[in-house]
Amino acid sequence: MLRLCEIMDRISRATGQAAMHVYLIVALLSMYEVVARYLMNAPTVWSYEIVLALCALAWTLSGAYVSVQRRHIAITLIYDMISPRARWYLDLIAALFTIAALCVLVYLSFDLAVKALRFIDRSGSAFNSPLPTLLKCLLFSGAVLFVLQSVVDFARLIQRGPKEV
């Protein structure tokens, strides 16, 4: 079990680090579009869609990374004032809600991905790329990755148990 958890952690870290590089590509493409549009008076028809798709890709792959790093957004006002045992119970409840919500996302995004693959969704813009199909598939993949990492985090939480002070 521990080996599977470590493998999942490595996968989550690798995808998160890949997502970081995607954001760099987004910045470079955006700078290129600004130069092309305003300095050369030659705007592209593809940059907006590509940048949007790359941001969506990076976002979907970042969830599991944020989870494994425990860097998600948290409101700590009450959390910091309660005992470690109560924190454990709050973490347990949050983990269960997270897993439940992600399972719903996996279920719904699977149907979207299958339909998109069946009909090859296109953007309908001047570029008219098949990026919507890719994004729907990536949403499903990212949700699966995130739910698997959340299950690993939940297992570790259970294994650790509530701490007494």
DSSP three-state, residue 57: helix
Assigned domain for 56 exists: yes
Assigned domain for 13 exists: yes
Is residue 106 predicted with pLDDT exceeding 50?
Answer: yes
157 contacts 89 by C-beta, under 8 angstroms:
no
Q: Which residues constitute the domain of residue 21?
A: 2-160
pTM over 0.85? The answer is no
Residue 151: C-alpha distances to residues 31, 41, 42, 43, 163 (Å)? 39, 51, 49, 45, 20
Assigned domain for 10 exists: yes
| CB neighbour list of residue 60: distance below 8 Å, 6 or more residues apart | 138, 139, 141, 142, 143
Assigned domain for 80 exists: yes
CB atoms within 10 A of CB 16: 22
pLDDT of 137: 92
Assigned domain for 156 exists: yes
Is residue 124 predicted with pLDDT exceeding 80?
Answer: no
Assigned domain for 128 exists: yes
Query: How many domains are contained in the chain?
Result: 1
Q: For the chain, first and last CA: distance in Å?
A: 29
Assigned domain for 165 exists: no
